[in-house]
Chains A and B, each alone.
Chain A
Amino acid sequence: MRWIVCIKQVPDTTEIRIDSRTNNLVREGIASIMNPYDCHALEAALQLRDQHGGQVTVVTMGPSQAEECLRDALAMGADEAVLLSDPAFRGADTLATSYTLAAAIRRLAPVQLIFCGKQAIDGDTAQVGPELAEWLGLPHIAGVEYLVVKANNITARREAESEYYLVEANLPALVTISRTMNEPRLPSVWGRLRANRTPITVWTGEDLDIDPNRIGLAGSPTRVKRIFYPQHQRQTQIRQGNAEQLSNWLVKTLAEERLL
Chain B
Amino acid sequence: MDFALSLDQKGLGKDIQEFSRRFLAPIAAECDEKQEFIPTEIWNQMACLGYCGLPIPLEYGGAGLGALDTLICLEAAGKGGAAAGHLLSWAVSTVLGSIPIIKFGTPEQKELYLPRIANGELICAFCLTEPDAGSDAGSIRTRAERSGDYYVLNGTKAFITNGPIADLCLIFAVTDPDRGSEGISAFLVESSFPGFSRGKQLDKMGIRCSPTGDLILRDCLVPAANRLGPEGQGFKTVAHHTLEWERANFSFFLGVMEYNLQTCIKYARERIQFKRPIARFQAIRHMLAEMRVELDAARLMFYRIGWMIDQGLVPAPVQASSAKYFLTRALKKNADYAVQIHGANGMMKEYPVERTLRDYKIAEIGGGTTQIQLDIIAGNIIKS
Contacts and interface: CB of A to CB of B under 8 A. Distances in A.
Interface of A: 71-72, 75, 186-190, 192-193, 195-196
A190 B63 contact: yes
Contacts of A196: 7-8, 11
B63 A75 contact: no
B350 to A, nearest CB: 24
B18 A186 contact: yes
B12 interface: yes
A-B CB proximity, top 3 nearest: A189-B50, A189-B63, A188-B49
B138 to A, nearest CB: 37
Contacts of A75: 11, 15
A167 to B, nearest CB: 32
Contacts, number: 38
Contacts of B48: 188
Interface in B86-106: none
Interface string B8-22: 100110010011001
A186 B63 contact: no
Report the interface size class on chain B. Answer: 10 to 19
B7 A186 contact: no
A14 to B, nearest CB: 13
B65 interface: yes
Given A196-B7, A196-B8, A190 B50 contact: yes
B11 A186 contact: no
A189 B49 contact: yes
A196 B49 CA distance: 16
B220 interface: no
A19 to B, nearest CB: 25
Nearest to A195: B11
B50 A186 contact: no
A73 to B, nearest CB: 12
A187 B48 CA distance: 10
A199 B8 CA distance: 15
Given A187-B49, A189-B73, 9 more contacts: A75-B15, A186-B15, A187-B15, A188-B50, A189-B12, A189-B15, A192-B11, A195-B11, A196-B8
Given A188-B48, A188-B49, A193 B8 contact: yes
Given A71-B11, A196-B8, A196-B11, A189 B18 contact: no
29 contacts: A71-B7, A71-B11, A75-B11, A75-B15, A186-B15, A186-B18, A186-B19, A186-B49, A187-B11, A187-B15, A187-B49, A188-B48, A188-B49, A188-B50, A189-B15, A189-B49, A189-B50, A189-B51, A189-B54, A189-B73, A192-B8, A192-B12, A193-B8, A193-B12, A193-B63, A195-B11, A196-B7, A196-B8, A196-B11
A189 B56 CA distance: 12
Nearest to B19: A186
Nearest to A187: B15
Contacts of A187: 11, 15, 49
Nearest to B64: A193
B65 A189 contact: yes
A156 B212 CA distance: 51
A186 B49 CA distance: 8
B90 to A, nearest CB: 14
A192 B65 CA distance: 12
A149 to B, nearest CB: 26
A75 B15 CA distance: 9
Nearest to A183: B22
B48 to A, nearest CB: 7
Nearest to A190: B50
